[in-house]
Structure 1
Amino acid sequence: MWFKQLLTYNITQDLQLNAESLEEALKSKPARPCASQELTTYGFTAPLGKGPDAPLVHASQGFFLISTLKEERILPGSVVRDALKDKIEEISTQQQRKVYKKERDQLKDEIVQTLLPRAFIRRSTTHAAIAPSLGLILVATSSAKKAEDLLSTLREAIGSLPVRPVTVMVAPSATLTEWVKAQEAPGDFQVLADCTLRDTHEEGGSVKCKDQDLTSEEIQLHLTAGKLVTQLALAWSDKLSFVLDEKLAISRIRFEDLLQEQALKDGGDDAMAQLDATFTLMMLTFADFLPALFAALGGLQVPEGI
């Protein structure tokens, strides 16, 4: 249940959400298996537990955990191309004629429909936490496409979802660059030993540094030459470490042992209680961490409508 990566979105208007109304709304967009002729399905699934009675919303201390499940049939393009090639060769040989584009497209559609029921099925889950008190939705992915799929489906379910990606007053790459130059970050943040540097010129390259002394002359020369820090490994308040990039995507989140041990203690031996304790402790940590991070980056740009 610990989120390993994070994209953050501002809620720009009061949604007036509660667990009961959200549960009812999500039931209108349930996850379901792909039918034999469907390429993909997408909908909400129970974030904790399984079974038909498992709730689609897990609520704890004002935070809501939701999850989506995508099911898709995997039909490699090479398989379709080979089958189409064989069919065209068969027609050309037996009927002594060419197969033109319109017929070729029709044959391709027929092949896809024939192969779909035998295609492998891949399932992927995306979790998100709604934090009304913070005015944020946290999606546990590094993929903007996956986040938008979840947010779009949530918007369809509840009727309105005024959100936008979190932005800050100062370009993150400029702030991260200054932190590496000074080898110091404000507040409870600490610069670690991994970063990515990128040349600002149109055809400029990039340099990835791992387990490096960022105070070294080599790194400082790159910065003096005009490279910007586009990714930086950081730690916060002895509670977690993470990598932040120039688009405010947070990845490689690792909660420190003390927090993990506290979640184990709070949850006890029951599996569901353990998941609940982990989610609750994670969200309480994020409630302190994210405002501190945004403040260190120059402060949030306040969305229109607030």
Structure 2
Amino acid sequence: MWFKHLHLYRLHEAPQLDADTLEQALDALAARPLGGSEPRRLGWCVPAGRAGTQRLHELQGQRLMTALRQERLLPTAVVKEEVEERAADLETREGRKLRRQEKLAIKEQVVEELLPQAFIRSQKVDLWWDSRHDLIGVNASSRKRAEEVLDLLRETLGSLKVTPLSSQTLPMRAMTTWLTDPASRPADLVLGDQVELKAKGDDGVLRARQVDLDSDEIQQLLASGRQASKLALEIEGRLSFVMHDDLAIKSLRFGDALIDEANASDDGDDALVRLETDFVLMAQALGESIERLIEWLGGEAGVQRDALSA
């Protein structure tokens, strides 16, 4: 249940939906098996898997939904080989070179025939909706995947006005300052051991892992004009993560105390209770940590400082 990545979005003019209405809307776009010629499909599934039946879990204003992404894997090389073979046969029989449009038509036919035989890859993507603070987080490794799930939610609700969460101070500027000036670091912020430094010119990107970020070597690179585009951070006692320059949160790891609290809760060996307990604890920790992080970044761009804590 614990998220590994997080792309954050501010929800504007949030639709006022109760849990039952939202559950019905999710049911209307439920995941179903791919049709024979469908290359991909996205629909809502049950977050608890076989342990549950509902597509929405809502507790204390925190909503959990899960999208199932299915995609047929049809290797480009396989399609290319089949197209070339059929085109060559046709050119031999007719004694002429095929036009580009004719080869494209053959390719379309090949894809249509091979798709039903292709393997299907399935991926679940969780979405967290903090309805009290109009905040949405998507547990996806890439922003493209997150945007796909948001598109599904938009289709589900009829409309969805969201923008990527942004801060007054650019994350790259803040991360670079924290690296170069230890006195600027907030009291609860701890540097990790991973960084990505970008040069202003064409010198490329330098990535370092398991390094002392206060070392002379790193400081010299920063002094040469490089800026931090990714930085491993820890909010002491809560969670650790790698922050990206677009405010994406990757490689999330929750603190031992929080995990111990979750493990100590009495779920009666009920998988559904375990899911909901973990989700509530995670959502609370994420909400508090995001609020603190945005504060460290000078507040949310275009929003009053107390917006997240209202």
Shorter-chain TM-score range: over 0.9
Q: Does 1:229 align with 2:238?
A: no
Aligned to 1:116: 115
1:150-180 superposed Cα distances (whole Å, 9 cap, x missing partner): 1111111111211100010011111111111
Of residues 183-192 and 225-234 in structure 1, the stretch that sits farther from structure 2 once superposed is 183-192
1:38-58 superposed Cα distances (whole Å, 9 cap, x missing partner): 11111111111338x711111
Q: Does 1:12 align with 2:12?
A: yes
5+ residue gaps in structure 2?
Answer: none
Q: Does 1:58 align with 2:57?
A: yes
Aligned to 2:151: 152
Aligned to 1:171: 170
Of residues 210-219 and 286-295 in structure 1, the stretch that sits farther from structure 2 once superposed is 210-219
Q: Does 1:300 align with 2:293?
A: no
Aligned to 1:251: 250
Percent identity over paired residues: 34
Amino acid at match of 1:156: E
Structure 1 stretches of 4+ moved >4 Å: none
Per the TM alignment, residue 267 of structure 1 is displaced from its structure 2 partner at its CA by 4.7
Distance 2:274 2:85 in 1: 55
Contact 2:31 2:42 in 1 (8 A): yes
Per the TM alignment, residue 294 of structure 1 is displaced from its structure 2 partner at its CA by 0.4
User: TM-score, normalised to structure 1's length?
Assistant: 0.94
Amino acid at match of 2:36: S
SS of residue paired to 2:65: strand
Distance 2:122 2:78 in 1: 21
Q: Does 1:273 align with 2:267?
A: no
Distance 2:266 2:86 in 1: 59
Relative to 1, partners in 2 of residues 1:288 and 1:226: Cα closer, same or farther, differing over 3 Å?
A: same
Q: Does 1:219 align with 2:218?
A: yes
Amino acid at match of 2:262: A
Taking the TM superposition and a 5 Å limit, the aligned residue runs for 1:21-60 are 21-50=21-50, 54-60=53-59
Aligned to 1:161: 160
Contact 1:12 1:162 in 2 (8 A): yes
5+ residue gaps in structure 1?
Answer: none
Contact 1:267 1:278 in 2 (8 A): no
Per the TM alignment, residue 182 of structure 1 is displaced from its structure 2 partner at its CA by 2.1
Q: Does 1:260 align with 2:259?
A: yes
Of residues 218-227 and 177-186 in structure 1, the stretch that sits farther from structure 2 once superposed is 177-186
Contact 1:142 1:250 in 2 (8 A): no
Aligned to 1:288: 288
Q: Does 1:238 align with 2:237?
A: yes
Contact 1:267 1:275 in 2 (8 A): no
Contact 2:238 2:289 in 1 (8 A): no
Contact 2:25 2:157 in 1 (8 A): yes
Taking the TM superposition and a 5 Å limit, the aligned residue runs for 1:102-141 are 102-141=101-140
Distance 1:97 1:83 in 2: 19
Distance 2:266 2:82 in 1: 54
Per the TM alignment, residue 141 of structure 1 is displaced from its structure 2 partner at its CA by 1.3
Contact 1:13 1:162 in 2 (8 A): yes
Contact 2:5 2:141 in 1 (8 A): yes
CA root-mean-square deviation: 1.8
Paired residues, number? 303
Relative to 1, partners in 2 of residues 1:267 and 1:83: Cα closer, same or farther, differing over 3 Å?
A: farther
